[in-house]
Amino acid sequence: MTLDETAIHRLLLWVVKSEEVAQRKGSYPEKLLPLRESLAGAYRPCTFSQLEGLLRKSNRKLNLEDHGAYIFLDPIADEAAVPVASFNFDFSAKPPVLRIRVAVFGSPERNGTAASAARSIAFRLEPPEGTSGVHSYPHLQLISGFTKDGASIPGIPDWMPDSQPAWPLDSRGPFALLCCLMIGLYGAEYINAMNGFDYTATASLLTGCHFPWPLERRSPPGNSNRKVARKKLNR
């Protein structure tokens, strides 16, 4: 298993466990619980034990859509929103591929005003599509559904474009793409709040990116020993 693959497995498991712990300990924002419960009825949450089993059996390739499972990310409390994501990766491909689809659902009530319809926005994060062409760079695009031909996400207007615009992302590989998602949703300080996830072991995966480096805020070294880093992640 490559360092990139190990880091993504660990981070996805951390995200799911963090959300489950917030539910269990009652630290989930109370005002967002009704929205979270409603979404869980439409998008079946992937549990920690289920994800652990799927990753163990994945043989380096996994599409959560094939299992009807979604990862509920930490809520964006300040925006009264709940992000729900689907992940599709293939680490047997050359180069390895990670594709992420995310819908951010807004609370039906915000600032004391109830919405007359669902509130949501959705997008996908993808690697370069070939070495030349209109999308030959890591990018983010708007979407209307979790699958290309599947049901539309409630609250997404039917005119939503799904090809352009395509915003470039500061990504050098699958793990960096996942970091783009987390920093984009929560800001740079979120990384420092990720207790229990050892980012220092992933420095080489973010070389060349312009993320604010966590913990000591140092720049990721350009010549990290990947074998040592992999050992740290596998502890």
CA angle 216, 16, 118 (to 5 degrees): 110
Closest by CA position to 51, among listed 64, 36, 66, 37: 64
pTM of the model: 0.83
pLDDT above 90 covers what percent of the chain?
32
**Per-residue pLDDT averaged across 220-227, rounded?**
38
Instruction: Check residue 192 and give its pLDDT.
Output: 65
Helix, strand or coil, per DSSP, at residue 99:
strand
The DSSP string of 155-220 is T--TT--SSS-EEE---SSHHHHHHHHHHHHH-THHHHT-TT--GGGGGGGGTT--PPPSTTTPPP
The pLDDT-based confidence of 80 (bands split at 50, 70, 90) is: confident
Mean pLDDT of 184-197: 72
Between residues 163 and 53, the one the model is more confident about = 53
- Rounded CA gap, 230 and 2, in Å? 8
Q: How far is CA 25 from CA 29, 104, 191, 233, in A?
A: 11, 23, 21, 27
